[in-house]
Structure 1
């Protein structure tokens, strides 16, 4: 009997829609979804669950390799963990498959090149972001989100308990929804 097809989807923010990636995956027996940055795997709960779930002869299908990891070393480590369990990794957009026997020489080369480009892109994004912040600060136009006081956090929690949507709460406090989510974690 052949193994299952298990999908993995990751979007970078809680308010992003993973549907496009799910459609790219096609039919899967089970799909694991993370809504968090891919720069590190430390807080990626769905990835940890996927790694625990997969078995010999399963195929882990991922829309694109940058969804699995943007750091070359981390990407290789995750692929190795999956293949060490006897499962294969299939990157749909790149048309690359790595199984317990390794990748073909061409797939191996492409995996290395594309992983390096994904990491390069992530570093360039951070570099451009830092440059933009420095320019905005020099012009006096950069203001970080105000830190929530303990009283603010209590008010946010009370409003959530009363059923107010987080979007409305964010507007009321003039902060992003992510700031509201972070306050609720306190």
Structure 2
């Protein structure tokens, strides 16, 4: 530990739906520094005070929030913030959910479990997407949009007229020769 006496830093987030920040301030009790945010949008970038707080905290500090949902928008978001704070040597305390406090063995364990669940969730979502695509392909519903625009097809024809090799044109356009031929012959997706 450095000579820096750890500060308790409060973070409060009030959404448009719940304007009562007094409740959150009260829950946090006495803190050395308070960051308070009024947020409406869904993106993390509009949480300017959160970014400010993350920049402000130093090794040995403790961030106190009422509950995980005040700090994070999702499990993944929460875990990323926990990691970010941990890397700076900053503990995280949840007034309403002490079981998640990062400076206790239970909290560490709970967050490990959450991380496993979040990972499973992502994997399941990816798998479902892949399955959805496979089924759509099988049923002929998954047609990627034509890779070449009419302008590109036009340019390709002009270059062929100038005796540029088709393989080179396909390479320049970043498509396979089959795609180029289909586009030039107006077959497959390029059928008029």
User: Which range, TM-score by smaller chain?
Assistant: 0.5 to 0.7
Contact 2:75 2:114 in 1 (8 A): no
Structure 1 pair 104/71, CA: closer, same or farther in 2 (3 Å)?
closer
In the alignment, structure 2 segments of 5+ residues that lack a partner are 118-192
Matched, 1:13 2:11: no
SS in 2 for 1:10: strand
In the alignment, structure 1 segments of 5+ residues that lack a partner are 114-186
Contact 1:87 1:100 in 2 (8 A): no
SS in 1 for 2:44: coil
CA RMSD of aligned residues (A): 3.1
Structure 1 pair 43/107, CA: closer, same or farther in 2 (3 Å)?
closer
In the TM superposition, residue 105 of structure 1 has moved relative to its aligned partner by: 1.9
Residue 109 (structure 2) aligned to one of 66, 86, 105: 105
Matched, 1:47 2:50: yes
Contact 1:79 1:89 in 2 (8 A): yes
TM-score normalised by the chain length of structure 1:
0.53
Larger Rg: 2
Structure 1 pair 109/15, CA: closer, same or farther in 2 (3 Å)?
closer
What corresponds to 1:57 in structure 2?
Answer: 60
Contact 1:14 1:36 in 2 (8 A): no
In the TM superposition, residue 108 of structure 1 has moved relative to its aligned partner by: 4.2
What corresponds to 1:132 in structure 2?
Answer: none
In the TM superposition, residue 31 of structure 1 has moved relative to its aligned partner by: 0.7
Deviations 1:96-129 (A, max 9, x none): 211499943246447877xxxxxxxxxxxxxxxx
Q: Which runs of 4+ in 1 moved over 6 A?
A: 110-113
What corresponds to 1:27 in structure 2?
Answer: 30
Deviations 1:113-167 (A, max 9, x none): 7xxxxxxxxxxxxxxxxxxxxxxxxxxxxxxxxxxxxxxxxxxxxxxxxxxxxxx
TM-score normalised by the chain length of structure 2:
0.52
